[in-house]
Amino acid sequence: MGILDKWSFRKVDKVAQRLPELVEQGKFAEAFGIWRGVEYELKVNTYGVDMYNVLTKKKASASVPDPTNYPGQTGVPANADSNLNKIMNTHVRKALNLTRPWGTQNEAVFDVLTGEKGDFMAPVVDLVETILNNTDIKVAIFTAQFDLICNTPGTIDWINKMNWKDKEDWKASPRVAFSEGDHIEGYIKKSNNFALYWVERSGHMVPADNPLGMYYILKDVTNNFEV
C-alpha cells in the first residue's frame, strides 16, 4: 500500500524476526516487549499510521509522532464509549438476558495478560483445533482489509497451519462474495462448522467501518437471528 518503503520495511522486519524464538521458548513477556518494538518502528516509519485502520487520515506534523503511547485508533468520536455502553447495557443485555453489566477494555486485565507471567503472546490455535475436532460448536472468523493490528495475511497464515477433521472440505469449498444490499461487502468461505469472512472497506472496528458487512456476518452466524 506504499505506507512503508523497502528500507523502512527492513527496520520493522529486523525487530519482528526476534519474535518467533522467544515465543517458542515460552518467553511471552519478552515477546510482548518485542511486539511493542514492532509497533514502535511502524509508528516512527509511517509518521503515525493508525494500527486499527491504515486509511485513517494522519495529522500533518513536522516531527515524528511519539510512538511510546499505545497505538490506539485515531479519529474516534469523544462520545463513542458512552454511546456503546448505552447500547450494550440496555438493548443487548436485555436481549441476551445478561445479569452483569458490560464494560469496555479493562486496562488492569490487559496489564496482567502482558506482565511477567502473562500469556498475551502465547499461541492458542490448538484450542480452536480442539473445538473444531471435538465439539459441534461453530467457529466463525472475520478479518478486515485495512486492519494492521490483526492483519488479514496473519489470520490466513494461522488458519492454513491449523489442522482439523474437516480442513480438506473447507479448503475445497468455494470463496464467494457476500452482500447486504446493492454492493459487495466482502467474501465468505465456509464448510461444516468453520467459516471465514473477509470484510472490505473496514479496519479493526468492523461494526463501525462496515456495518452492513457486520450485519451480514451476524445474520449468517445466527441463522438469520434465530439462534
CB contact at 8 A, 196 and 128:
no
Q: Mean pLDDT over all residues of the chain? A: 90
In SS3 terms, 73-98 reads as: CCCCCCCHHHHHHHHHHHHHHHHHCC
User: Residue 62 has what pLDDT?
Assistant: 54
- Any idea which fold 123-227 has? Rossmann fold (3.40.50)
- Decide: residue 47, CB within 10 A, 0-12 exposed, 13-18 middle, 19+ buried: middle
Contact criterion met (CB below 8 Å) for 213 and 180: yes
76 or 44: which leads in pLDDT: 44
pTM higher than the cut 0.85: yes
pLDDT of residue 69: 55
CA–CA separation, 224 and 154 (whole Å): 30
For 157-174, the pLDDT digits (tens) are 999 999 999 999 999 999
Helix H or strand E segment including 183: none
The pLDDT tens digits of the residues spanning 88-142 come to 999 999 988 999 998 877 788 888 888 767 789 999 999 999 999 999 999 999 9
- Cβ neighbours of residue 28 under 8 Å, at least 6 residues apart? 22, 118, 119, 120, 121, 122
Q: Name every residue whose Cβ is closer than 8 Å to that of residue 119 and which is 6 or more positions away in sequence.
A: 28, 113
- Residues paired with residue 197 on neighbouring β-strands, in sequence order: 142, 188
pLDDT one-digit tens code per residue, 19-44:
999 999 999 999 999 999 999 999 89
Q: Would you state the pLDDT for residue 66? A: 62
Q: What is the rounded average pLDDT of the residues 49-53?
A: 91
Grid coordinates representing 142?
A: 472475520
Question: So what's the pLDDT on residue 60?
Answer: 79
Report percent pLDDT > 90 for the chain: 70
- What is the chain's alpha carbon radius of gyration, rounded to the nearest angstrom? 19
The helix (H) or strand (E) run that includes residue 29 is helix 28-46
Looking at residue 107, its pLDDT comes to 81
